[in-house]
């Protein structure tokens, strides 16, 4: 069974953390993964930095830019992650845009992920129809889940299509805007959470965008299996460094 499925079957609400590989420093990637697991995080999304991250807010954009300047790229990330499964047992997901994966070669990228022990990918700009027609078999051959995103403007028909093809979880984007943490959610966002909950989808949902503290975490887990925190975690890394990870994660729960 995929590690993501095992984690989703556990009792309680899940906390998944996104961070940009190679930030704050090039060699921080593995140390951050270790500290996140030690802090009780349930899943980790490792961001593959890209020069044109369209869906990302300024915090993640800045971390991507600095990671690239630090020397992070696909080959460096794969080198850093060699042997990661000797010490890391929780699910690891690579999140990134399709361009670097295409440049590396989709089949080669998936094979490398399988060798390292990556459990799945999140590729925001890979359309589901294009994935299904061209890459689904490659992902399946390499035991990789591909998690899709839904947003407030996604039609019910599209959501049901995504639900029918999904493995693992659906990444439920809390708003139509770019990433970035907030202190609360609007009534419109709560209505959206409730509307999706009533659809009774077969695939568990994890909510991201706008989650960054105990209050927002506790709100979204009322309507989903868990929460994803990205911008707020990266901001904490920027302000307090890698050694602050345990205290930050503790403040969320």
How confident is the model over 88-100, as pLDDT tens digits?
Answer: 999 999 999 999 9
Half-sphere exposure at residue 119, Cβ-oriented, CA atoms within 13 angstroms = 24
Mean pLDDT of the chain: 94
* Whole-number pLDDT of residue 57: 75
Structure tokens, 53: 């991250």
DSSP 143-209: T-EEE-EE-TTS-HHHHHHHHHH--S-EEEESSSS-----S---HHHHHHHHHHHTT--SS-EEEES
Q: Which residues pair with 208 in a beta bridge?
A: 173
pLDDT at residue 230 is higher than 70: yes
Structure tokens, 26: 């090039």
Question: Domains plus CATH for the chain?
Answer: 13-252 (3.20.20.70)
Lowest mean pLDDT among 168-182, 212-226, 232-246: 168-182
Which residues have a Cβ under 8 Å from the Cβ of 146 and sit 6 or more positions away?
Answer: 120, 121, 122, 123, 126, 131, 135, 136, 139, 167
Catalytic sites, residue numbers: 45, 56
Closest listed residue to residue 188, CA positions, set 151, 140, 238 = 151
Residues 74-96, mean pLDDT to the nearest whole number: 98
Confidence band for 59, pLDDT divided at 50, 70 and 90: confident
Half-sphere exposure at residue 132, Cβ-oriented, CA atoms within 13 angstroms = 10
* CB 110 within 8 Å of CB 126: no
d(CA 23, CA 226): 25
Residues 79-104, mean pLDDT to the nearest whole number: 97
Q: Is 46 helix (H, G, I), strand (E, B) or coil?
A: strand
Rounded to the nearest 10 degrees, the angle between the axes of helix 29-38 and helix 245-252 is: 40
* Whole-number pLDDT of residue 55: 57
Structure tokens, 181: 């943490």
Q: Which residues pair with 207 in a beta bridge?
A: 172, 227
Q: Which residues pair with 227 in a beta bridge?
A: 15, 207
pLDDT at residue 54 is higher than 70: no
Find the angle CA(174)-CA(179)-CA(181) to the nearest 5 degrees.
80
Q: Is the pTM of this model over 0.85?
A: yes
pLDDT at residue 182 is higher than 80: no
């Amino acid at each position: 069974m995929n590690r993501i499925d095992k984690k989703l079957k556990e009792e309680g609400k899940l906390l998944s953390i996104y961070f940009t590989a190679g930030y704050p420093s090039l060699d921080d990637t593995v140390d951050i993964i270790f500290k996140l697991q030690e802090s009780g995080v349930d899943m980790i999304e490792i961001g593959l930095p890209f020069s044109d991250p369209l869906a990302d807010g300024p915090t993640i954009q800045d971390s991507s830019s600095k990671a690239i300047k630090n020397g992070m790229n696909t080959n460096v990330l794969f080198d850093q992650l060699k042997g990661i499964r000797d010490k890391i047992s929780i699910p690891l997901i690579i999140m990134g845009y399709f361009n670097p994966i295409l440049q590396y070669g989709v089949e080669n990228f998936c094979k490398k992920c399988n060798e390292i022990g990556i459990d799945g990918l999140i590729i925001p700009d890979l359309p589901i129809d294009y994935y299904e027609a061209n890459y689904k078999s490659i992902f399946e051959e390499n035991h990789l889940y591909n998690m899709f995103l839904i947003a407030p403007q996604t039609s019910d028909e599209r959501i049901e299509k995504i639900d029918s093809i999904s493995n693992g979880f659906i990444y439920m984007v809390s708003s139509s805007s770019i990433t970035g943490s907030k202190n609360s959610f609007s009534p419109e966002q709560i209505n959206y959470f409730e509307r999706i909950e009533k659809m009774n989808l077969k695939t568990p949902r994890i909510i991201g965008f706008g989650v960054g503290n105990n209050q927002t975490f506790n709100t979204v887990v009322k309507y989903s299996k868990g929460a994803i925190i990205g911008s707020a975690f990266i901001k904490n890394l920027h302000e307090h460094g890698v050694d602050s990870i345990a205290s930050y994660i503790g403040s969320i729960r």
